[in-house]
Structure 1
Amino acid sequence: MKDKPTRQELEIQISELKRQNEELKSIAIDFHENERFNTFDKENLKEVYVAPIASIFNNMGDSVFVKDDQSRLVLVNDAFCELFQLTRAEIIGKTLAENVPIDERESFLKIDRAVLTEGIENINEETLTINNETKIISTRKSRFIDSNGNKFLVGAIRDITEKKNAEKALKENENKYRKLNATKDKLLSIIAHDLRSPFNNIIGLSSLLQKRSDSFEDKQSEKYIEIINSTAKETLILLDNLLNWAKSQTGELNIKSEKISLSKTIEQVISLENKLAATKEILLKYKCLDEIKICTDQNILKIVLRNLISNAIKFTKNGGKINVVSAKREGGIEISIEDDGVGMSKKTVENLFDIYRTKTLLGTANEVGTGLGLALSKEFVNKLGGEISVISEVGKGSKFTIFLPFKLNNSE
């Protein structure tokens, strides 16, 4: 495609128009006098005026046009006809505003009026919708006044749709790579820092048991073993979250729908998490208000429940309570996990599900955390077609609520 014409190039074209001034004058007069224009022979117009003048413009790659002071077209080149998919006979004498949506029409005519009135050249990017196809165009409009004071608008249009689409795709790819890079940095940060601490606990305590097992009383030994066990379980959860998060970010996570008993699924998770809760003497209870069967991915749901319950245990003090409740709701089911733990501030809640913005907080027993579990839970709940919300207040605990449809969209 040729480069956009400069003002100097347009002025050269205009100078060619001056040589046809007498003919232009008579045509302009006819356009101003509606009665005469309505009876004007368009074929005669094409032969006498349009054909010789248009040849000047047809060697330009852009769509070129000339309008009178009422924004009616008096001259167009072949590229302009191709752009609007109309013949010259269908174009000359019209504004073509009626061929485009109202918002575009008002924009075109407003710019035309401003250029004709003020004489200030206008260069603009806008949309052009023709036959339900929207293009992005770059327009350049200037005013020309002939020796008799008649005002004309000379313009050029360039279709830049492909260029803009390419720029958009490039920007989207750039954002995608930025996100992937941030994901990589976060992943490395978790591996480098957050995994070291629990492994150091496991190694340190197990070494202590190994070296001094004969001198420990049974209760003391049992306490260390419990810490090792809970630390190992937390670390395993973290590793699972890392693997699942990596699969989710790379698009390798497959959602498989199956018919399951909701209460049995929750009870299985509760059974595993009860051992962790017992180390802090936390009472973890489950209440099923309705016996429900749903079609969803059981493994994904278990990951979400395990993360939310583990999070509740982490931020609940020794001797606290956690209640898990499931019930039917309109259009689906609801599962709530409520604790009487330390709670969260409004600012913490706002960033809670964003792994890139949430801050790592220690649990009530100095348990380490990454924020990955909650971010992963929200992402997985969304993949299951549901929503997750949280209500929390500092010092009064937190309540996480999951809503899931009875049936996944891709389930049979």
Structure 2
Amino acid sequence: MIWYSLYNRFKRINRVKERTRRELENQITELQKHNEILKSLLAFQDNVERDESEKYANTILNNMGDAVFVKDAGSRLLLVNDAFCDLFNLPRTKIIGKTLAENVPPAERESFLRIDKQVLLDGIDNINEESLTLGEGQKKIISTRKSRFVDEDGNKFLVGVIRDITERIKTEEDLRQSAIQLKELNATKDKLFSIIAHDLRSPFNNIMVLSQILKAQLSKSEDPDTQVPIDLIHSTAKNTLVLLENLLDWAKSQSGQINFKNEKINISNVVNEILELSRSIAKTKDISIQVHIQEDVEINSDKKILKTIIRNLMSNAIKYSRPGDKITISAVEEKDLVKIVISDSGVGMDDDTLENLFSITGNTPLPGTLNEKGSGFGLVLCREFIEKLGGKIWVESEKEKGSDFIFTIPRN
């Protein structure tokens, strides 16, 4: 479903954004470590012979994944590692002694030299993301950290670490564009549901009213055969309207648009309201329905949501019950909750079906005993609503021996 795909896509975007943020934090930490190593290398040169010092320094520098450099007070490069040469695609002979600012456009040159000068002047570290234009106009985005090092003679050096973040920036831009597209698709989806809610509810309600009128008129007829198709038309219209309501409720639940109410509910009254519809449908399959609920069982919850849950579970029980089977509804009061059980003596389920019963992606609804079709939305919606009300739902079933759908609802 498009809205479910969008929902998953939105979660993936959020996960990538979080990963990008963590990567940036790790990058800053690594750059700080690299700079400290470089400072240590400069200090190390004062304490050992030059040849050994350079060998030691180059070994460490060339094992760093990021480009590193040391500049003098005039921003001329004194020391670079292999990654720096690879970044600029230049040999050391064309790097050492130069600023490399000569090789970039004026705007970039001014920015590089200005930052170098400022760090050398005040000694405050600078972390910056900037563009870098290489040979043949190739552009990269780099993250640079520059620090000042002062030796015993008072000479100032600029120590820097560069990381190529071009791919990361491209990924962030792709995410931004995806977020814009997701927003547009969500708006389209919301408009679609608005059209469905407005334009389909009314005609289905009209069909139900007209079929009810026709049913009442034909009930006076002496021909009993006319009553059966009218009952089927009426029940089919009601079931289709229920499916539409489920679809809309599920969509609202996914987008957080459902507001839950807290009101005192009599469980027996709610069940009896549902049975007004369910019994007429069960009658077409010669299925009996029995209720074992005390009249004083009450909870504080959302009545509309509770009716939606029971209606869907009843519809499911009727769908998978055979002609002549029995359905039982019972409620058991426990300490802080009420447990409601809807039992049928129908076809039951195997373990594979039970495992994916409440999954919108894994649930493949089987046809009913009279080949009734279904979308699988009903049970998915039940689980989501029950969990939002603070309860739980589970199923106990055995192939060819019926099913018990059990859910709990907190008293408050």
Task: Normalising by structure 1, report the TM-score.
Answer: 0.52
Corresponding residue of 1:248: 253
Measured after TM superposition, the shift of residue 318 of structure 1 is: 0.7
Match of 1:312 among 293, 317, 337: 317
Residue 268 (structure 1) aligned with residue 276 (structure 2): no
CA contact under 8 A between 1:290 and 1:328: conserved in structure 2? no
Cα distance in structure 2, aligned partners of 1:175 and 1:391: 43
Measured after TM superposition, the shift of residue 168 of structure 1 is: 11
Cα distance in structure 1, aligned partners of 2:380 and 2:390: 16
CA contact under 8 A between 1:361 and 1:370: conserved in structure 2? no
The 3-state SS of whatever aligns with 1:286 is: strand
The 3-state SS of whatever aligns with 1:368 is: coil
Measured after TM superposition, the shift of residue 235 of structure 1 is: 1.7
Match of 1:298 among 303, 307, 328: 303
Write the deviation string for residues 212-242 of structure 1: whole angstroms up to 9, x where unpaired. x9xx961211222222222222122122222
Cα distance in structure 2, aligned partners of 1:290 and 1:358: 36
CA contact under 8 A between 2:268 and 2:294: conserved in structure 1? no
Residue 352 (structure 1) aligned with residue 372 (structure 2): no
Alignment of 1:52-201 (within 5 A): 78-79=124-125, 156=161, 173=179
Measured after TM superposition, the shift of residue 27 of structure 1 is: 5.6
CA contact under 8 A between 2:266 and 2:295: conserved in structure 1? no
5+ residue gaps, structure 2? 1-23, 25-30, 50-71, 78-111, 116-122, 129-142, 146-158
Paired residue total:
276
Write the deviation string for residues 115-145 of structure 1: whole angstroms up to 9, x where unpaired. xxxxxxxxxxxxxxxxxxxxxxx999xxxxx
The 3 A distance-change label for structure 1 pair 244 and 390 is same
Measured after TM superposition, the shift of residue 370 of structure 1 is: 1.2
Residue identity opposite 1:303 in structure 2: T
Cα distance in structure 1, aligned partners of 2:246 and 2:41: 78
Cα distance in structure 2, aligned partners of 1:159 and 1:332: 58
Corresponding residue of 1:401: 406
The 3 A distance-change label for structure 1 pair 230 and 172 is same
Residue 342 (structure 1) aligned with residue 388 (structure 2): no
Cα distance in structure 1, aligned partners of 2:290 and 2:332: 15
Corresponding residue of 1:327: 332
Cα distance in structure 1, aligned partners of 2:411 and 2:178: 35
The 3-state SS of whatever aligns with 1:395 is: coil
Cα distance in structure 2, aligned partners of 1:249 and 1:281: 37
Corresponding residue of 2:383: 378
Corresponding residue of 2:148: none
Residue identity opposite 1:316 in structure 2: S
Residue identity opposite 2:384 in structure 1: E
Measured after TM superposition, the shift of residue 174 of structure 1 is: 9.4
Match of 1:390 among 386, 395, 406: 395
CA contact under 8 A between 1:241 and 1:373: conserved in structure 2? yes
The 3 A distance-change label for structure 1 pair 78 and 373 is same
Corresponding residue of 2:44: 24
Measured after TM superposition, the shift of residue 356 of structure 1 is: 3.2
Cα distance in structure 2, aligned partners of 1:362 and 1:23: 79
Measured after TM superposition, the shift of residue 246 of structure 1 is: 3.1
Corresponding residue of 1:278: 283
Cα distance in structure 1, aligned partners of 2:287 and 2:357: 23
The 3-state SS of whatever aligns with 1:317 is: coil
CA contact under 8 A between 1:334 and 1:402: conserved in structure 2? yes
The 3 A distance-change label for structure 1 pair 156 and 254 is same
The 3 A distance-change label for structure 1 pair 378 and 286 is same
Cα distance in structure 2, aligned partners of 1:316 and 1:170: 51
Measured after TM superposition, the shift of residue 326 of structure 1 is: 0.9
The 3 A distance-change label for structure 1 pair 354 and 218 is same
The 3 A distance-change label for structure 1 pair 268 and 22 is closer
Match of 1:229 among 229, 234, 237: 234
The 3 A distance-change label for structure 1 pair 168 and 403 is farther
Measured after TM superposition, the shift of residue 177 of structure 1 is: 7.6
Cα distance in structure 2, aligned partners of 1:24 and 1:264: 86
CA contact under 8 A between 2:339 and 2:409: conserved in structure 1? yes
Write the deviation string for residues 313-370 of structure 1: whole angstroms up to 9, x where unpaired. 0110011111111112343221111111111222222222223332232211222211
Corresponding residue of 1:33: none
Cα distance in structure 1, aligned partners of 2:114 and 2:319: 68
The 3-state SS of whatever aligns with 2:261 is: coil
The 3-state SS of whatever aligns with 2:256 is: coil
Measured after TM superposition, the shift of residue 159 of structure 1 is: 12
Measured after TM superposition, the shift of residue 380 of structure 1 is: 1.6
Residue identity opposite 1:329 in structure 2: E
Residue identity opposite 2:370 in structure 1: A
The 3-state SS of whatever aligns with 2:125 is: helix
Residue identity opposite 2:287 in structure 1: I
The 3-state SS of whatever aligns with 2:365 is: coil
Corresponding residue of 1:87: none
CA contact under 8 A between 1:258 and 1:298: conserved in structure 2? yes
357-366 vs 288-297, greater mean Cα deviation: 288-297
Task: Normalising by structure 2, report the TM-score.
Answer: 0.52
Cα distance in structure 1, aligned partners of 2:405 and 2:173: 41
Corresponding residue of 1:368: 373
The 3-state SS of whatever aligns with 2:405 is: strand
